[in-house]
Amino acid sequence: MKILITILAMGLFPIIFVASRTITALASEVAIPILNPVIIDDGDSEDYRILVKPEIPAPDSNSIIEKASLSLWVNIQAKDTTYVAIDAYPIATEWELENVAWNIPWDNPGGDVDVTVYSEYAISLPGQQEITIDLTDICMRWFDGRLPYYGISIAVSESSISSAQFLNGQNGDGPFASMRISYSDSIQ
């Protein structure tokens, strides 16, 4: 019996040692207010995009992105639709606040975005409401270098929703939106 206990203890020791090599510290959260969105439209129809480029602090190389999200108030006044999709795409081209329009500086009207990596939020009820769009995958790609960071383009699927209706849903006098990033430090 004594030999069996010794063998079991010796067999478990490497597993316990390996499992304890990576320690995850408590998660931290950063909240970034987004005060001045840029709205671009094509002028001929009701298509528009809301561009935001908040200054997000880059975590150190040992950080793990646990969750990232964009929270904003919207005022959906759509008619004759079952839902409205709000898509958040990472912008793929450098742009400047003072020099951006539907066709400038983009190769594609409305903005150059990475359409393979995006987040979507579907709204099925009209009215003023706060929504939260999950940006975890996009943020992880920004932080590990798989995507360049040029900000986010927000597109609304229902063209009957004007940008004024979209932006006037803001609750109170706060920022247009806020971005939250939760991360933890991994100690090797």
What digits encode the pLDDT tens for the residues 54-68? 888 876 667 788 899
- pLDDT mean over 116-120: 89
Looking at per-residue pLDDT, the higher value among 88 and 57 belongs to 88
User: What is the residue-wise DSSP string for 89-147?
Assistant: EEB-S---TTS--SSSS-SSTT--B-TTS-EEEEE-S-EEEEEEEE-HHHHHHHHTTSS
Please check whether residue 186 is in contact with residue 70, taking contact to mean a CB–CB distance below 8 angstroms.
no
Element (H, E) at 83: none
Phi, psi of 106, rounded to the nearest 5 degrees: -80, 155
* Least reliable range by pLDDT among 36-45, 49-58, 163-172: 163-172
Rg (CA), the chain: 22
Percent of the chain with pLDDT over 90: 31
CATH of segment(s) 24-187: 2.60.120
**Contacts of 55 by beta carbon, 8 Å cutoff, 6+ apart:** 32
User: Given the structure tokens 């409401």, which residue do they identify?
Assistant: 129
What digits encode the pLDDT tens for the residues 3-16? 433 333 444 434 33
